[in-house]
């Protein structure tokens, strides 16, 4: 696999040819799929395609949905500089069915895609409206937060999934991921949907002044997560929060730039720190990584088969988890070997899918401690209500909270 930061930039200039590059079919398809993942099919038709910009030294793919944009280096051989808007869906169809290993892509009023072997040739009817397609500028900010690729990849894997779905969000702020900077060279990354909360603290480097708290749209971070898959662990990732009439966040990694607006309505993040000021009412139950992995392997097929379900936790000398599917009367039990169960006697019920997500987030880290915690909430109309949660915690400053309820 070729990493983006290692991509060759070769130039062969021929003034007698229009804009022309040669691309590897598999890599071109992969790059187009990546940048197209942010495109909104219901947006302005002008930005439903992908812009290809080629200079004498390199080439980039641009894509946007008006809120998020990406500028991705394209691995190719450059024969002639130029720019063109590629009809995205037509190009994807060709690349999916072709047997060609590489293609010449060139433009001259229309887009031409010719197989290098000479067996396939396509001409796509596309007006060259490059002036209507917005450019994505390179990252040139002098003040930024710097992550290490491996650390940020882990951080997003542990938190991003916990954010709320945009379509069903009760609070629009919960559709994003909260970045707070409590002290020099540290960041708190938090995501919640009201039923679960994921928190990870990581080390970062500040270049310039310490930035303000910011909620970043999940869609921008999902795109960044895809880019990070092929980036070597030690590569630096830069994040800049740009103030102004329209606030925005910029990410730069291995030549790729991702930009996202920061809508005001998602910046009012709930007081997540209050969830940690709660009463611990059980011992710290210790669960090994072997048991975490075994529980994922056994419970995941059950959740997938029934598209939901609940999980009942019984605390004996070992932790017994019983799943009750929402569809049918099927039940199954799994005994999770745990230590230090103590005298905690309440039985709890949690959402099966959320429980599996939590286990996947802590998989592969150090051994895990689990506690049952309680917080007293004020009820509307007076009185109080006791709220229970299960808290998973690892040694490398990660916490995952799941809302639970007592069962008899």
Q: What confidence score (pLDDT) does residue 165 get?
A: 77
CATH superfamily of 278-407: DNA Polymerase III, subunit A, domain 2 (3.10.150.10)
Domain layout of the chain by residue ranges: 4-132, 144-270, 278-407
Give yes or no for a contact between 323 and 294, defined as CB atoms under 8 angstroms apart: no
User: How confident is the model over 200-229, as a mean pLDDT?
Assistant: 92
Contacts of 58 (CB under 8 A, 6+ apart): 9, 73, 74, 78
Per-residue b or e along 262-280, where b marks 16 or more CB atoms closer than 10 Å to that residue's CB: bbeebbebeebeebeebee
Is 278-407 the same fold as 4-132?
yes
CA dist 223 and 88 (Å) reads 18
Structure confidence by residue, pLDDT tens digits, 124-163:
876 545 556 777 888 999 999 999 999 999 999 999 999 8
Q: How confident is the model at residue 183 (pLDDT cuts 50, 70, 90)?
A: confident
Q: What confidence score (pLDDT) does residue 349 get?
A: 85
Which range, 20-24, 128-132, 338-342, 378-382, is most confident? Answer: 20-24
Contacts of 115 (CB under 8 A, 6+ apart): 98, 100, 102, 103, 104, 121
SS3 per residue for 306-344: HCCCEEEEEECCCEEEEEECCCCCCEEEEEECEECCCCC
Name 373's bridge partners. Answer: 280, 389
Label the pairing between strands 310-315 and 285-287. Answer: unpaired
The CATH fold of domain 4-132: DNA Polymerase III; Chain A, domain 2 (3.10.150)
* Domain spanning 144-270, CATH class: alpha beta
User: How confident is the model over 31-40, as a mean pLDDT?
Assistant: 90
Q: What confidence score (pLDDT) does residue 90 get?
A: 87
Its pTM stands at: 0.84
Label the pairing between strands 236-242 and 196-203. Answer: unpaired
Give yes or no for a contact between 389 and 278, defined as CB atoms under 8 angstroms apart: yes
pLDDT tops 80 at residue 38:
yes
Structure confidence by residue, pLDDT tens digits, 385-397:
567 888 888 888 8
Angle at 269 between CA 267 and CA 270, to 5 degrees: 160
Structure confidence by residue, pLDDT tens digits, 67-89:
899 999 998 999 888 888 888 88
Angle at 388 between CA 386 and CA 392, to 5 degrees: 155
Residue 234: C-alpha distances to residues 6, 206, 363, 365 (Å): 14, 17, 22, 19
Tokens of 166: 């945009």
């Amino acid at each position: 696999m070729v990493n983006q930061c290692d991509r060759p930039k070769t130039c062969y200039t021929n003034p007698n040819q229009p804009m022309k590059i040669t691309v590897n079919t598999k890599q071109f398809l992969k790059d187009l799929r990546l940048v197209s993942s942010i495109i909104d099919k219901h947006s302005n038709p002008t930005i439903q395609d992908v812009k290809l910009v080629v200079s004498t030294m390199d080439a980039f793919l641009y894509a946007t949905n008006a809120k998020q944009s990406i500028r991705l280096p394209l691995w190719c051989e450059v024969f002639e500089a130029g720019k063109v808007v590629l009809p995205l869906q037509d190009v994807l169809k060709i690349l999916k069915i072709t047997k060609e290993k590489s293609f010449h892509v060139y433009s001259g009023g229309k887009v031409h895609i010719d197989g290098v072997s000479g067996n396939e040739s396509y001409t796509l009817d596309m007006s060259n409206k490059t002036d209507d397609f917005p450019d994505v500028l390179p990252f040139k900010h002098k003040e930024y937060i710097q992550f290490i690729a491996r650390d940020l990849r882990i951080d997003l894997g542990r938190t991003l999934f916990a954010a709320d779905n945009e379509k069903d969000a009760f609070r629009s702020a919960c559709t994003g991921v909260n970045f707070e900077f409590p002290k020099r060279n540290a960041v708190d990354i938090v995501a919640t949907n009201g039923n679960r909360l994921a928190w990870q603290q990581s080390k970062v480097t500040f270049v310039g002044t310490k930035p303000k708290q910011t909620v970043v749209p999940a869609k921008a971070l999902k795109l960044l997560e895809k880019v990070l898959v092929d980036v070597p662990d030690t590569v630096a990732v830069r994040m800049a929060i740009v103030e102004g009439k329209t606030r925005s966040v910029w990410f730069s990694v291995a030549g790729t730039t991702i930009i996202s607006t920061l809508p005001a309505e998602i910046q009012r993040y709930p007081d997540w720190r209050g969830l940690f000021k709660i009463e611990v009412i059980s011992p710290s139950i210790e669960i090994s990584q072997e048991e975490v992995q075994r529980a994922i392997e056994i419970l995941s097929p059950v959740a997938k088969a029934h598209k939901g379900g609940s999980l009942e936790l019984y605390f004996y000398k070992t932790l017994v988890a019983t799943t009750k599917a929402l569809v049918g009367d099927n039940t199954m039990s799994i005994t999770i070997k745990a230590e230090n169960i103590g005298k905690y006697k309440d039985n709890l019920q949690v959402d099966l899918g959320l429980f599996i997500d939590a286990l996947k987030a802590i998989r592969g880290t150090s051994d895990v401690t689990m506690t049952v915690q309680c917080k007293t909430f004020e009820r509307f109309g007076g009185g109080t209500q006791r709220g229970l949660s299960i808290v998973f915690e690892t040694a490398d400053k990660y916490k995952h909270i799941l809302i639970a309820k007592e069962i008899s």
